[in-house]
Structure 1
Amino acid sequence: MIQLPAGFHLRRDTLARSVVVRRSWPVFLDLCVAGILLAAFYAVVQIARYWNSSPRTDFNISLSPHALPMYAFFSVVRIGIAYLLSLAFALIYGYIAAYTPRLEGLMLAALDILQSIPVLSFLPGVMLAMVALVPGHQLGIEMGAIILIFTGQAWNIAYSFYSSLKSIPRELTEAAHIYNFSPLQRFFNLELPFATIGLIWNSMVSVAGGWFFLMACEMFVLGSRDFRLPGLGSYLQTAAANGDFKAITYGLLTMIAIIVATDQIIWRPLIAWSDKFKFEQTESNNRVSSPLLHLLQHSSALRHLHHRTLRPISELFYRNSYKRRIEHQLHPVQHTKLQRIARIAAAVLLIGIVAFAAMHAVVLLRDIHPAQLGKILLGAGATFLRVFAALLIGSAWTIPAGVAIGLHPRLARIAQPLAQIAASVPATAIFPVLLVALIKAGGGLGIGSIALMLLGTQWYILFNVIAGAIAIPSDLREVGELFRFSTIEKWKVIILPSIFPYLVTGLITASGGAWNASIVAEYFRLKNQTMSTFGLGAQISAATDAGQFPILLWATIVMALIVVTINRLVWRPIYRIAETKYKLSA
């Protein structure tokens, strides 16, 4: 029986309605969840049917608005799968690099090289390998496109996770050791939660990068073959090549609708959920909220699933892991001679594969003329100046803007979706309008290429700075208010030291992204006319179109060497300062 305070009266029908609403709303939410699951199952069936069909690379891309829903569906699937692969790669690669001192330097150098290699440099090998791996099915071609999108998404997430692992406060690591956490317990209860904020914001910019390179991954020329896959990227590229600004507008509006829906359905709930992982001793009053996350947290079906299924499975897993660890401590396993031989054989096999690939690469490199090599080096110098200008201009506005967005949740509710939209819209889709304006103003593709690089890479800096500002502990900000720091003192003592590790990560990935973006910034097709400016990116794009693999390989090697050298001489020392001097500790 409900007891009401004295003098307070409640009509019986009002109470009945409130009880009905309280009971019916979770039921409605459960029906919505069931509908989402059924829609996902139907999408999986349609994708499986399409991937199992006979291979086709010459789809006729229709510019009709009625074709946009199907094209958007295929593009979302490709980007989604590529992101899941990128996240798995980042967690594994970053973990091994952070906790294996013998391999750390080699793995970071490999990451530098991989993030600097343009998508088009991966294109010939990836496509030919996937088509040969899955012959007779569309799956091979689709996997090739997905892996190409993966090459534009994975590296900054891996850098973010690695830097987060290296920045974990010492007292948290000692607490995990005192409580005898297993590696999996430490990963799920310490390392992954600590890195969550950076992972989410870098995931957002990675998905935006996937949209940026979607046009190059869904429609390209490889020698004498013209690859055209049904998707939003190929739609926008066809519209841009034909100068059809009406179709470009339809395509961009569709993309913006997808980005806004993704932000509200996925990123906003994740940002609100990750707010609890901030490393602070006093709880902040300004918390990010998400209506969808609130509804999901109050779903009776999901709560029942968690208590009945997920929690018992996790407890059983941790219990068995603890027993195995105790048995291993009591009875340590000795490596047998056969295991040592197997490891040596695996290492020899890996070295043999690398040596075989290197020999074939050397054969290709011998076919290039010294004059062509000199031209490649001069082009690298021109592209280097454009990359430096893009980073300088991008940093000038993204650092103050990112701090403002990260420190003010109300501003973030408005600015974050707008930044997500701006970062996700492929600059190559709006580049025809920008290029025409620059030509009328007396500029050309030389200046336009810097603008296109800036549109494609400044978001790496912005989103990392936002993540760093969000991760600033509330008690540090309260100290600044207590001692009445001026604005300059707050930036010097609190803000810049706190965001410094995130800023360095953003600059490293933006630098590699700018080199990567040069392939579309320096070589552009407009109305069946190819426009290019002198640079390394233009040479790579032209070599890909002409099937000149020696020039493509040499240009890729030069670009990788430049990026690795810059990272070693500039970014790596700064990164060491970030993970030692500016490491948060209680």
Structure 2
Amino acid sequence: MSWPRSAAGRGARPVRAADRLTRLNWVDLVVAAAVLVGLYVVLRVGRGTAVSFTPSRTVTVSTDPANLPYYAARSLLRMFAALAASTVFSLLYAYTAAHSRRLQRILIPALDILQSVPVLGFLTVAVTGFVALFPGSLLGLECAAIFAIFTSQAWNMTFGFYQSLITLPRELDEVSRSLRCTRWMRFWRIELPSGAIGLVWNGMMSFGGGWFFLVASEQISVSHHKYALPGVGSYAGSAIAEGDLGKVGWAVLTMTVMVVAVNFLFWRPLTAWVERFKNEQAEATEVQRSVVLDLLRRSYWPRLLGRVLAPPARALARACRVFGVDDRPLAVRPVRRRAGDLAFGTVATSLVCWGLVDLGRYFRQRTGLGVFGEPLLLGLATLARVLIVLAVATLVWVPIGVRIGFSPRLSRLAQPLVQILASFPANFLFPLATWFFLRTGLSLNIGGILLMALGAQWYILFNTIAGAMAIPTDLREAMDDLGVRGWQRWRRLIIPGIFPAYVTGGITASGGAWNASIVSEVVTFGGTALTATGLGAYIAHATADGDYPHLLAGVAVMSLYVVALNRLLWRRLYRLAETRYSMG
């Protein structure tokens, strides 16, 4: 607290908030005006989410470009609502999985399955449930769309934060336990700051994943009923269906403006602020900068808000002492199973088996178990495309991500471009892709790999950048002083430093590629449709036809492939990252 002296040399007195508010500078006025405008836009746009709606009528959107500003605001509101829900889910889910050996055996395999279920699979069920929950109101469809975007964001963030918890630097873990921190204090002072860089960069990537499925979440087709919510995604979908390249161009321009604005106003300040949590002993020579963050730091409003929230925060911290002291170290070695763990596992296994038996009865009554034969074969084609995407993305983007993460100056220049490329929905470019494939005669069986890469490769890039940024500057300077270069530098510093983050990127890129196959193996523009041989096309056709048995079969087979790949490859790499490549 500052203590100014009076001109007469009298004693000092503390600066009160009221005194400070009488001397507001232009920065305070700009920040206050921006907040008021933001609240007005949210309230104005939010009114359109609760209008009357009946499931029997088909909802469409106008393709008049004059509506695009309003549509952009509606899409942004859905995206940030889904991001808030994804952040809360990630913190709770990852913390529970990392701190409970018993629940970890259930939650992490369940997360593998959840991220393997296509967005269309969630959307089909969500629409029916939310429309029934909010009868006669458009809010049901809005919640279904937000839920669909949530399912494209949450899994990547959860995997990333879980990875940061299980690879917590050992010195931080020992300091926490020696100081007898409560679980609440340990989380807010140790665990969350340690994983903040990865959480922000994974959040940025997940936000881009939400853009990718914006069309699918705002243009909903269930049981031969088509619903379109006002938004840029539904506008682009309608323009693509009409075959109007001019209107598609307006959608592309609007999306570009939205991505750049969100990056400048939200992600750039957040990535610059979160660098304060980097675990290092030497101060970096260059740091990320943000004009918006500099304005906020010069403004008095954040400090005033901190003073207002401090008393309830302290009261909440005192109340959370009931959770006790977390004096049990995280599990880094296999432990002997106790009787309670075996009983818990038996109950969980019994419930899963019961569900599988009931699902098998459903298929025998509808189509027979032979319905799984075709998707199993088609899944091999999609699996080959997924593996190609992962291999090429690793070879191309890991070196680039390390270079960006090590250079704050390069990060400032590259972040907006990378964010635009990662966030831009690939299906906005499908009209051009259709034209290119038809002109060149390139089969979608090969071209689909390129389209899948547009939706999956960025997970590896963003996680690599986050992993490289988290490597302490003093370690890099020590390598420079020792003259370690080339492959030796990669083997002794870079690979161990980025490996946990890369594994997180790989496992989410794998799930993202499977999800992207649904919109990449069927490409339409106007009256032209191209279809590739694969499981994604199988699920897309079943969803459009409202064929629930084939849709369930396709989703089940895709989940099987994703879980098998995670169990055989990524889960083993996770254990290697946890036991060998944990910082500290």
- TM-score, normalised relative to structure 1: 0.88
Q: C-alpha separation between the residues in 2 aligned to 1:305 and 1:548?
A: 53
Instruction: Give how far 1:213 is off.
Output: 0.2
Q: In structure 2, do the counterparts of structure 1 residues 358 and 128 end up closer, same or farther at CA, with 3 Å as the change threshold?
A: farther
Instruction: Give how far 1:314 is off.
Output: 2.4
Code of the residue aligned with 1:193 in structure 2: it is P
Question: Which runs of no fewer than 5 residues in structure 1 stay unpaired?
Answer: 3-21, 327-343
Partner of 1:17: none
Instruction: Give how far 1:370 is off.
Output: 5.8
Please list the CA deviations of residues 211-254 of structure 1 after superposition, one character each: whole Å capped at 9, or x if unmatched. 00001111132222011111100111122222222212211111
Please list the CA deviations of residues 12-52 of structure 1 after superposition, one character each: whole Å capped at 9, or x if unmatched. xxxxxxxxxx9999532222232233223323433442222
Partner of 2:450: 451
Q: Any idea what SS the aligned residue of 1:525 has?
A: strand
Code of the residue aligned with 1:377 in structure 2: it is L
Q: In structure 2, do the counterparts of structure 1 residues 497 and 556 end up closer, same or farther at CA, with 3 Å as the change threshold?
A: same
| Residues matched between the structures, number | 547
Q: In structure 2, do the counterparts of structure 1 residues 364 and 287 end up closer, same or farther at CA, with 3 Å as the change threshold?
A: same
Query: Bigger CA drift: 289-298 or 522-531?
Result: 522-531
**Matching of residue 249 in structure 1 with residue 225 in structure 2:** no
**Matching of residue 28 in structure 1 with residue 26 in structure 2:** yes
Q: In structure 2, do the counterparts of structure 1 residues 473 and 117 end up closer, same or farther at CA, with 3 Å as the change threshold?
A: same
Instruction: Give how far 1:348 is off.
Output: 9.2
Query: Bigger CA drift: 104-113 or 436-445?
Result: 436-445
Q: Any idea what SS the aligned residue of 1:61 has?
A: coil
Query: Bigger CA drift: 518-527 or 239-248?
Result: 239-248
Code of the residue aligned with 2:157 in structure 1: it is I
Instruction: Give how far 1:493 is off.
Output: 1.2
Q: Any idea what SS the aligned residue of 2:25 has?
A: helix
Partner of 1:485: 484
Partner of 2:340: none
Are the equivalent residues in 1 in contact too, given 2:430–2:525 (CA < 8 A)? no
Partner of 1:404: 403
Q: C-alpha separation between the residues in 2 aligned to 1:318 and 1:130?
A: 36
Partner of 2:504: 505
Partner of 2:463: 464
Query: Bigger CA drift: 347-356 or 364-373?
Result: 347-356
Instruction: Give how far 1:322 is off.
Output: 4.3
Q: Any idea what SS the aligned residue of 1:230 has?
A: coil
Q: C-alpha separation between the residues in 2 aligned to 1:365 and 1:139?
A: 37
Q: Any idea what SS the aligned residue of 2:253 has?
A: helix
Partner of 1:78: 78
Q: C-alpha separation between the residues in 1 aligned to 2:356 and 2:569?
A: 30
Q: C-alpha separation between the residues in 2 aligned to 1:396 and 1:33?
A: 43
Instruction: Give how far 1:406 is off.
Output: 0.5
Q: C-alpha separation between the residues in 2 aligned to 1:318 and 1:368?
A: 56
Instruction: Give how far 1:401 is off.
Output: 0.8
Please list the CA deviations of residues 354-390 of structure 1 after superposition, one character each: whole Å capped at 9, or x if unmatched. 9579636731454225664322111111111111111
- Runs of 4+ in structure 1 over 3 Å off: 22-26, 56-60, 319-326, 347-358, 369-372
Partner of 1:42: 40
**Matching of residue 533 in structure 1 with residue 532 in structure 2:** yes
Partner of 1:299: 299
**Matching of residue 121 in structure 1 with residue 141 in structure 2:** no
Partner of 2:554: 555
Partner of 1:103: 103
Instruction: Give how far 1:65 is off.
Output: 1.7
Are the equivalent residues in 1 in contact too, given 2:45–2:73 (CA < 8 A)? no
Partner of 1:58: 58
Are the equivalent residues in 2 in contact too, given 1:402–1:466 (CA < 8 A)? yes
Partner of 1:142: 142
Are the equivalent residues in 2 in contact too, given 1:525–1:531 (CA < 8 A)? yes
Aligned ranges 1:358-369 → 2 under 5 Å: 359=358, 362-364=361-363, 366-369=365-368
Question: Which runs of no fewer than 5 residues in structure 2 stay unpaired?
Answer: 6-19, 326-342
Q: C-alpha separation between the residues in 1 aligned to 2:528 and 2:318?
A: 65
Partner of 1:272: 272
Q: C-alpha separation between the residues in 2 aligned to 1:75 and 1:488?
A: 45
Aligned ranges 1:309-388 → 2 under 5 Å: 309-322=308-321, 325=324, 359=358, 362-364=361-363, 366-369=365-368, 372-388=371-387
The sequence identity of aligned pairs, in percent, is 42
Are the equivalent residues in 2 in contact too, given 1:55–1:141 (CA < 8 A)? no
Please list the CA deviations of residues 430-462 of structure 1 after superposition, one character each: whole Å capped at 9, or x if unmatched. 122123223322312111211110000000000
Code of the residue aligned with 2:546 in structure 1: it is G
Instruction: Give how far 1:170 is off.
Output: 1.8
What's the Cα RMSD here?
2.6
Query: Bigger CA drift: 121-130 or 506-515?
Result: 121-130
Are the equivalent residues in 1 in contact too, given 2:98–2:104 (CA < 8 A)? yes
Instruction: Give how far 1:350 is off.
Output: 13
Partner of 1:215: 215
- TM-score, normalised relative to structure 2: 0.89
